Amino acid sequence: MSKIILITGASSGLGKATAEKFAAGGWDLIVTARRKEQLANVASDIEKKYGVKTLSLVFDVQDKKAVFEHLGNLPKEWQAINVLLNNAGLALGREPFDEANLEDWETMIDTNVKGLLYASKAVLPFIIAQKGHIINIGSTAGKEVYKDGNVYCATKHAVDAISKAQRIDLLPHGVKITAVHPGAVETEFSLVRFKGDATKADAVYAGYTPLKAEDIADTIWYVANTPAHVCINDLVVTCTAQGNSTTIYKG
């Protein structure tokens, strides 16, 4: 019987790359995202290429009702979830605290923190039944705060804390918890952060070789496939040119 991974934010970037990595390994996929057409294309391409089964669910993790309606009522054949990847998340804006946009703050908190909590809670009975694994995507921004990062950094610090709390509270159920904290990864992340300004987004990755989405997908594959008695609790992954959340050498 194939294993099942549920991936939020699977229509692009880290989520899409991870879906492809696990499909190549023979896993069936539950993929979720807001963008219906883009998600459908990802699922269709994966099914054709790897011959695995996919279930596509279109909703926004910010919407508590939608999360529980979709994830809390999965078809019976999709309930044996081995891994939940809480990947959906974003950064919006790069302004100092006094100039930052309140709506940006709320969207980041509702997606990065509340969305992760909703998804985890909705599928937890299925994860517990399988003695499964929750993998949360954090960030180096959850390890050190950087200038003009304010609330984005706060949300990723929250992911770090929630992961630690999940790990402690779910020990009696044999559930693994891993937090993966990527550094600079060249995806749509910066384009979203700068609200479509490609010049600003490209500048983030200029002068060095950043991580690729596939690098993080490889990492997630590794931590999800350790022996039953082994759990990688916390993992920070950067490119060679990055020292921490605030230091990148651009040669």
Closest CA to 233 of 186, 144, 156, 171: 171
- Sheet of 176-182, strand order: 54-58, 28-33, 4-7, 83-86, 133-137, 176-182, 234-237
Residue 31, H or E segment: strand 28-33
Q: Write down the pTM of the prediction.
A: 0.96
Q: Which CATH class is domain 4-248?
A: alpha beta
How many Cα atoms occupy the beta-carbon half-sphere of 230 within 13 Å? 7
Selecting among 152, 205, 208, 222, the annotated active-site residue is 152
Predicted confidence at residue 44, as pLDDT, reads: 97
CA 151 from chain center: how many Å? 18
Q: Is 152 part of the annotated catalytic residue set?
A: yes
Beta strands 83-86 and 54-58 are unpaired
Taking a C-beta distance cutoff of 8 angstroms, is the pair 248, 204 a contact?
Answer: no
Predicted confidence at residue 89, as pLDDT, reads: 96
For the chain, give every domain's residue range.
4-248
pLDDT in tens, the chain (251 residues): 799 999 999 999 999 999 999 999 999 999 999 999 999 999 999 999 999 999 999 999 999 999 999 999 999 999 999 999 999 999 999 999 999 999 999 999 999 999 999 999 999 999 999 999 999 999 999 999 999 999 999 999 999 999 999 999 999 999 999 999 999 999 888 888 888 888 988 888 999 999 999 999 999 999 999 999 999 999 999 999 999 998 999 98
d(CA 210, CA 189): 13
Residue 209: count of CB within 10 angstroms of its CB: 11
Predicted confidence at residue 161, as pLDDT, reads: 98
Integer-rounded Cα radius of gyration of the chain:
17
In which residue are the tokens 């304010």 written?
Answer: 150
